[in-house]
């Protein structure tokens, strides 16, 4: 994912739900709604337009798009946009430390009961895998299953194809006693 910083959020709009709603209504229908990652209600003081009023607090948010191209489109379309309820959207690229973290820190549902298996996607590609490590895991599954994956596909597409393959052709456990394991397995 690619992340943008959105600023100038009036205090009464500075929460994840309202920011998400406004982005949903302001975006073109062809653009998926970005994920609102974090909203800071009292981010910075903004001087008033007239020198008579006191400065007011404005919030900011980090929103993540699926990829850089979508984020660039969001930057171009949302920057300076007069959104409902008095928010003129300020857009900047988020600092590097806020980039590409859409899948990290996923929250799972209730803890698995003893003897239960985690979801197939978590078995094949644990949430701890990222970047090159995840790409290598996908490549191992592609090689073992003989899947026709295009290297131009995004990582998530290749992972979904692998999961679909294993749903149609489940892996089988083989139990063998008295035989040594080949070095290639260990």
- Between helices 155-168 and 131-145, what is the axis angle to 10°? 40
Q: In the prediction, which pLDDT does 60 show?
A: 93
**pLDDT beyond 90 at 4:** yes
- 44 contacts: CB under 8 Å, gap ≥ 6: 7, 57, 58, 60
Q: In the prediction, which pLDDT does 104 show?
A: 43
- Whether residue 10 contacts residue 61, with contact meaning beta carbons closer than 8 Å, is answered with no
Across all residues in the chain, what is the average pLDDT? 82
- Whether residue 3 contacts residue 64, with contact meaning beta carbons closer than 8 Å, is answered with yes
SS3 126: coil
Q: Average pLDDT of 66-72?
A: 88
User: DSSP H helical segments within the chain, as ranges?
Assistant: 16-26, 68-78, 120-124, 131-145, 155-168
Q: What six digits make up the tokens of 177?
A: 């006693």
Q: Which residue has the higher pLDDT, 162 or 50?
A: 162
Q: In the prediction, which pLDDT does 103 show?
A: 47
- Whether residue 7 contacts residue 43, with contact meaning beta carbons closer than 8 Å, is answered with yes
**pLDDT beyond 90 at 126:** no
Residue with the two structure tokens 């994920």 = 35
Neighbouring CB atoms inside 10 A of 178's CB total 4
Q: In the prediction, which pLDDT does 63 show?
A: 93
**pTM, whole model, 2 decimals?**
0.52
């Amino acid at each position: 994912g690619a992340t943008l910083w959105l600023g100038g959020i009036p205090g009464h709009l500075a929460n994840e739900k309202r920011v998400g709603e406004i982005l949903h209504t302001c975006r073109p229908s062809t653009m998926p709604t970005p994920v609102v990652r974090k909203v800071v209600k009292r981010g910075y003081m903004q001087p008033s337009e007239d020198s008579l009023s006191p400065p007011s607090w404005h919030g900011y948010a980090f929103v993540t798009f699926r990829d850089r191209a979508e984020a660039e489109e969001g930057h171009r379309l949302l920057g300076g946009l007069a959104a409902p309820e008095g928010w003129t959207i300020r857009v900047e690229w988020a600092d590097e430390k806020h980039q590409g973290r859409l899948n990290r820190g996923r929250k799972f549902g209730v803890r698995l009961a003893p003897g239960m298996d985690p979801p197939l996607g978590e078995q094949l590609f644990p949430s701890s895998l990222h970047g090159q490590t995840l790409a290598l895991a996908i490549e191992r599954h592609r090689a073992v299953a003989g899947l026709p994956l295009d290297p131009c596909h995004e990582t998530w597409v290749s992972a979904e194809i692998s999961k679909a393959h294993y749903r149609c052709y489940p892996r089988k456990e083989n139990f063998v006693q008295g035989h040594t394991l080949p070095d290639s397995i260990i």
